[in-house]
Structure 1
Amino acid sequence: MGRSQETFRKKENLKKREQKKKEKELRKENRSSQSAKGKSLEDMLAYVDENGNLTTEKPQEQKKNKINADDILISTPKMAEEDEVQQGKVKYYNDQRGWGFINNVHGEQLFFLISEAHENIKVDDKVNFKTRRGPKGLQAYDIEPANNQKGTTTQEPR
C-alpha cells in the first residue's frame, strides 16, 4: 500500500486557507452591516460643539456675541523700507566663512555677507546698514560702523 498523498503540512495549509476565507467573509458582513448606505442624511451628520469636539447631537441655538473689529489689537514690528538706513548690532561674524548676522532695533536677525560689510566690523559693534530681499529673506548690505553724531537719538538693538 502506498502512503497517503495528503501530508500533515498540506492539511495544515488547507485549514489555514479555510480559516482565512471565514474571517474574510465575517469582515465583509461587518462592513455591509455598518455601511452608511440607506441611512438618512440626518443620521450621517456630525456636529461640532462650542469646544470644537465632534458630537452626534444637534447643538442648541445660542445667543451669538457680536465682536467689534476695533476691539481686536494686532501688533507687528514696523518693517523698514528697503534702502532705508537702519541701525543694529553685529550678533555673529565669521571671517573664515564669509558671513554673519545683525540684530536690528526690532529684534529681527538679518543675514549679511562679509563682502557687504566694512573691514573693521566685529561682534557686538553697533552698525548702520540697508536691507534688500535676498533668496531667503531680508539681507543687510552697505554695512558701516555706527557714528553717534550729536543731535541724533538711537534705539538700543535687542
Structure 2
Amino acid sequence: MGRSQQTHQKREKEKQRIRQREDKAEKMQERKANAQKGKSLDDMLAYVDENGNLSSSPPDPKKKKLFNAEDMQIGVPKHEETEAENPERTGIVTFFNGSKGFGFVKDGQTGESAFVHINQLSGPLKENDKVTYEVEMGHRGLNAINVKKIV
C-alpha cells in the first residue's frame, strides 16, 4: 500500500479555505437580510444648499442667486501699483549701532520695523530719536532711506 499524498498541513489549509468560504457566504446572507429594500433614488440623493452644505432636501428656488460669468475672476488678480499719498513716514529709532553703522526704525502708525544703514542718514542718530523716512523693499525686507531726525 502506498502512502497518502495528502499531508497534515495540506488538509489544514483545505479546511481553512472551506471555513473562509462559509464565513463569506454567511456575511453575504446577513447583508442581504439587513439591507433596506425599496429605497428610492430620491432617498439616496444629497443636495447642496445656498450655503454650500449638504442636505437631504432640495434647495429652495427662491434663494437661488444668479451670477454673471464675466464678473467672476478665476485666479489671482494682477497686482496694481498704488502710489502712496505721502511716501514719507515717521517713526522712532528702536536700535542703532554707530560703530557698525546700522539700526532699525519702527513706524509710528503700522509698527513695522525697517532696516536703516548709516549711508541713508542725513545726520547722527541714537536710540529713541524721532525720524522721518521713506521705505523701499530690500533683499531681506524693508529698508529706510532718506532718514532725517525730527527736532
* Bin of the TM-score, shorter chain as denominator length: 0.3 to 0.5
TM-score w.r.t. length of structure 2? 0.45
TM-score w.r.t. length of structure 1? 0.44
Bigger-Rg structure (1/2):
2
Name the structure, 1 or 2, with higher relative contact order (CA <8 Å, separation 6+).
Answer: 1
